[in-house]
Chain A
Amino acid sequence: MDARTGAAVSAQPEQLEVTDVVAMVRGVLDAALDRCAPGSVAALEICAAWEGLDVVAEASLIVQSLPSELSALAVLLTARRLVRGAILRVEPLAAALVLAEALRHLDTAARILAAEELGEAPPWA
């Protein structure tokens, strides 16, 4: 199990190993969870995405220091960019499908957060 602190998301992720990118994504999702209400529908979708990352790479995490004014939605967009880049490079290939499923959960979480910002909520919330 690995743990590092402070690596910037702005570093070019395509130059990193996929396992490092996944660790970076976990740090971003940690920040996103901090910005969501505990137990909310969006937070559960972020947890579902996290499960996919656990299948692909060991539970390392690179802590991200993101500006506090960034909303959970903006943080998720950062995670989305990182995961999509990892899908193109990850080995073995089966992991690409797992990451794609994780990305679908992040997209669902982003849709829920966007709807909440507009004052709407999913029917099962």
Chain B
Amino acid sequence: MGLIYAGRMELATRYAALALVTPPDTTTAMPVGRLQDDLAVLLAEMVETVTGLSMGTAVQPEIADLVRHPVRLLRHGLVALPPIDRSPDPQPPSSRWADLPTSPTRAHGAVQVWTGLVVAAATSAQAVRAQAHHMSGAQRWTALGEVAALAEVLAVTRSDLLTQFMPAGGRDARARQAAAALAVEAREVVRLAGDPEEPSGPTWSPIYPSRRIVPVSSLAALPRAVENAGRLLARGDASITDVLSLTRVLAQADRGAVAVLRAADGTEDAATARLAALLGAHADELAVSVTQSRANLASLTPGSAAVLAQGREIGASGLPRLQAASRSPDDALAVLPDVTAYAAATATMTAALRDAAARAVAEHGVAVRDRSEDSPLLWRPAVSFDVVPLVRALDGAVVTARRAAIEATTEVPAPGAERVLRVSTAQLRHALARRQIELRPDAPTTAPLTAHFEPVSQARAARGA
């Protein structure tokens, strides 16, 4: 790949990392928003240049497109991101990009960091235009992964900006949805680009289905993502740090789900209150075990990238959606069936976490902190005794999760699915029920036994008479 492109993209990535941790304040929110708009345009151009994809007029994508055409959807998500600056005559780039720092270390404040990012992305786009036709399939995937990583930064920071500085509802609600969708789409492409099992070289194709990770593009996908995490853990290649990571994610998702259940109807419905209590207890069991083990356990094996990616997807996309839904009773009510389905799915994943922890130590893949004062080293290989507290806590969490699953599947609290019953319909049902009662024998279990069966010849003789 060309040196100019690589150098400029490295600079852009460094600025992007700073942009993630340098939030704007009230005075710089709008200038940063305009620079984000510039970045969206530049990244969409780069996706087109690298892949050759051009959509022409915007088409409303379907959820299934994320699996079928992730790269096309990324390009669409960048184009469809609503701009912050809707004025008819926005300032030209020369004025917006004037405050350019000399290097990332000298960038002060959000505006300078974002200016550095946008200018580095612009020069990268220029370089990739000149070099794209010389790129191999592997180089295209690499470039696409880098562009998608910047797109994810853009989506996350745009969500932050909208949450902190823009009023909720209406047009901005759509902008938030667009930013959240772009984050999912960009992450999916980053995964595809970084997956060594994906094809490269002559088989290059920008349209390639994802096979292993369930994206959480809405809360309806959260239960499937949790089930998939359980399946990936059961493959047996997860390390102890993978287990801790997914335990943390599950605990946080539980707490988000509890907040949604409480926001939906508080403690008015007994079944919902029981489910919330069980999920809360499940979250506490997981959270205590992971926070007590985090600094004491380390992995001696590489672990599973797929497990981590699924956990990251649940944490980065599922958690914010749960927390957003819990802020409004109406939103909480709308996603109640999804949250109930999530509760039903947690038992399998918790059991998979417990089994993976036990397996990791049995296969000598765990190191434990040695806190004894006479120890020459801080770490030693763990034996099964060392992870007993973690496995026992996960065992308890499995029991709680199974109770929650039973509660979730026994009575589904979905008041939104109830139909309004008209008076005429009720009367008709009542009349039909009465008619059925009249038709039934008084004692249905004994009725067949009391029936009289006559031989055919006797019946004919009786009719003839």
B456 contacts A by Cβ under 8 Å: no
A124 and B258 contact, CB distance less than 8 A: yes
Does A118 count as interface, using CB distance less than 8 angstroms?
no
Summarize B's interface: helix, strand, loop or mixed.
Answer: helix
Q: Known A47-B248, A47-B291; judge A107-B21 contact (CB<8 A).
A: yes
- Residue contact B21 to A97, C-beta cutoff 8 Å: no
Judged by a CB distance under 8 angstroms, whether A11 is at the interface is no
From B14, B153, B292, B299, give the contact of A88 (CB < 8 A). Answer: B14
B298 in the interface, Cβ–Cβ < 8 Å? yes
Docked Cα-Cα span, A48 to B259, in Å, equals 20
The verdict on B60 contacting chain A, using a C-beta distance below 8 Å, is: no
Interface string of B1-38 (1 = CB under 8 A from A): 00000000010011011101100000000000000000
Interface residues of B in 294-315 (CB under 8 A from A): 294-295, 298-300, 315
- Rounded to whole angstroms, the CA-CA distance of A40 and B248 in the bound complex is 11
Task: Report, as a range, how many residues of chain A touch the other chain.
Answer: 35 or more
Give the B interface residue count (CB, 8 A): 44
Across the interface, name the chain B residue whose C-beta is closest to A125. Answer: B255
Let me know if A75 is at the binding interface, CB within 8 A: no
B245 to chain A, nearest CB (A): 5
* Segment among B49-57, B82-90, B282-290 that sits at the interface with chain A: B282-290
* Chain A nearest Cβ from B353, distance in angstroms: 14
Contacts of B255 in A (CB 8 A): 41, 124-125
A-B contacts at CB below 8 angstroms, number: 112
The answer to whether B377 and A3 have CB atoms under 8 Å apart is yes
Alpha-carbon gap, A99 to B153, bound state (A)? 13
A window 2-54: CB within 8 A of B: 3-5, 26, 29-30, 33, 36, 38-41, 43-44, 46-48, 50-51, 54
Please name 19 pairs of A and B residues whose Cβ atoms are closer than 8 Å in the assembled complex, sorted by A: A3-B378, A26-B295, A33-B291, A33-B295, A38-B287, A38-B292, A39-B291, A41-B255, A47-B248, A47-B291, A48-B315, A54-B241, A59-B299, A87-B14, A99-B17, A101-B20, A123-B326, A123-B327, A124-B322
Instruction: Mark B residues whose CB is within 8 Å of A.
Output: 10, 13-14, 16-18, 20-21, 104-105, 149, 153, 241, 244-245, 248, 251-252, 255-256, 258-259, 263, 284, 287-288, 290-292, 294-295, 298-300, 315, 322-323, 326-327, 367, 369, 377-379
